[in-house]
C-alpha cells in the first residue's frame, strides 16, 4: 500500500474553535502531514486518526517538530495560555497568529521565544472557504516560511500581504468586523420587509438571497462596486429614491465611516 506524500508539513494548532477548526479542515483537505491539535475540547469530527489531540501543552510529544505553530485561541486567553507553550516551539518553526489585538512584540514576550511571527486577520467566511485574510510578516520570517503561511491561509480563502503591522487595525475594522455589517444589512432588510406586510418566511428569504446574491455578483464582476450600483439604479426609479436616503451626507457615508473608526480604535485599545 502506498501513501500520498504530504503537501503541507506538520503543524501545531493551538485552539480548534470555529476559525481554527475551519483552517484545519482546509489543511486536511490538502493532505496535511500528521499534526497536533492543542485544545481542551477538540471536535470529534475534526481530528484524524494520525493526528495527536492534547488538552495541555505539557502533553505534546517532545519529539514533535512542527513547521508552523498556529495561534487560534481567543485573544483574552493569550496572557495565560501562551506562556504555557514555552519550550514546545522548535527554533525553526514559524508562528502564525490570528489573534486580534495582539501585536507581534507582545506575542514574542508572552511566548518567551524569538521565533519569527506572521500576524494575520481572517474573517468568518473562512468557515466555508470564502474568507479574506490580511497578513504581515515580521522581518525575521524567511521566504519559505512566508510561503508556508501563505499556503496555510489560502486554505480558507484569499490572502493579501501588508507592508506594515499597523495596517492590521484598519483591516480588522473593514474585513475582520465587516461580515457583521453585512449580516446587519440582511437583518434590517428582513425587518423592513415584514413591516411592509411580507410574510416572515418570505421576508427572510428575500433579504438573505438579495445580500448573498449581490455579494456573489460583486465577487464575479471586474467592475467597481459603484459601477454595479449605478447599473441597477434607473433614473427617477425606485432604487434611486431609496439611495437618495441612504447616500445622504449624514446617512450611510457618515455612519459607516464612524463605525469603521470605532472598530479601528477598539482594535488599538486591545493591543495595549
How big is the CA angle at 75 (ends 119 and 173), to the nearest 5 degrees?
Answer: 65
Q: Is the pLDDT of residue 55 over 70?
A: yes
**Alpha-carbon span 272 to 264, nearest angstrom:** 13
Strand pairing category for 131-137 and 117-121: antiparallel
Average pLDDT over the chain reads: 92
CATH numbers and ranges of domains, the chain: 11-168 (3.40.50.720), 178-270 (1.10.3730.10)
Q: pLDDT tens for residues 204-253?
A: 999 999 999 999 999 999 999 999 999 999 999 999 999 999 999 999 99
Tell which phi-psi region holds residue 112, choosing left (phi > 0), alpha (psi between -120 and 50) or beta.
Answer: left
**Alpha-carbon span 53 to 154, nearest angstrom:** 24
Q: pLDDT tens for residues 154-200?
A: 999 999 999 999 999 999 999 999 999 999 999 999 999 999 999 99
| pTM listed for this prediction | 0.88
Contacts of residue 189, Cβ cutoff 8 Å, sequence gap at least 6: 206, 207, 210, 211
pLDDT of residue 52: 87
C-alpha cell at 227: 459601477
DSSP E strand stretches across the chain: 11-14, 36-38, 52-54, 68-71, 94-97, 117-121, 131-137, 157-161
- Closest to 78 in 3D by CA, of 47, 117, 42, 52: 117
Percent of the chain scoring above 70 in pLDDT: 96
Amino acid at each position: 500500500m502506498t501513501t500520498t506524500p504530504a503537501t503541507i508539513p506538520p503543524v501545531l494548532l493551538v485552539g480548534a474553535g470555529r476559525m481554527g477548526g475551519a483552517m484545519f479542515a482546509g489543511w486536511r483537505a490538502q493532505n496535511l502531514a500528521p499534526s497536533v491539535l492543542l485544545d481542551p475540547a477538540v471536535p470529534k469530527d475534526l481530528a484524524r486518526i494520525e493526528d495527536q489531540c492534547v488538552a495541555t501543552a505539557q502533553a505534546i510529544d517532545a519529539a514533535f517538530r512542527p513547521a508552523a505553530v498556529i495561534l487560534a485561541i481567543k485573544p483574552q486567553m493569550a496572557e495565560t495560555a501562551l506562556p504555557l507553550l514555552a519550550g514546545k516551539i522548535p527554533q525553526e518553526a514559524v508562528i502564525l497568529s490570528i489573534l486580534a489585538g495582539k501585536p507581534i512584540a507582545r506575542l514574542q514576550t508572552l511566548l518567551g521565544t524569538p521565533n519569527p511571527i506572521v500576524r494575520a486577520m481572517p474573517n468568518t467566511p473562512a468557515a466555508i472557504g470564502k474568507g479574506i485574510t490580511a497578513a504581515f510578516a515580521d522581518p525575521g520570517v524567511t521566504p519559505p516560511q512566508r510561503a508556508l503561511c501563505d499556503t496555510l491561509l489560502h486554505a480558507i480563502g484569499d490572502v493579501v500581504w501588508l507592508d506594515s503591522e499597523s495596517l492590521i487595525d484598519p483591516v480588522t475594522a473593514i474585513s475582520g468586523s465587516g461580515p457583521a455589517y453585512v449580516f446587519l444589512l440582511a437583518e434590517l432588510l428582513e425587518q423592513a420587509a415584514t413591516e411592509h406586510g411580507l410574510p416572515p418566511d418570505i421576508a427572510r428569504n428575500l433579504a438573505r438571497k438579495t445580500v448573498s446574491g449581490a455579494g456573489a455578483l460583486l465577487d464575479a464582476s471586474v467592475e467597481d462596486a459603484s459601477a454595479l450600483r449605478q447599473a441597477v439604479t434607473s433614473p427617477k426609479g425606485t432604487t434611486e429614491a431609496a439611495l437618495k436616503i441612504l447616500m445622504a451626507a449624514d446617512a450611510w457615508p457618515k455612519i459607516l465611516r464612524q463605525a469603521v473608526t470605532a472598530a479601528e480604535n477598539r482594535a488599538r485599545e486591545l493591543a495595549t
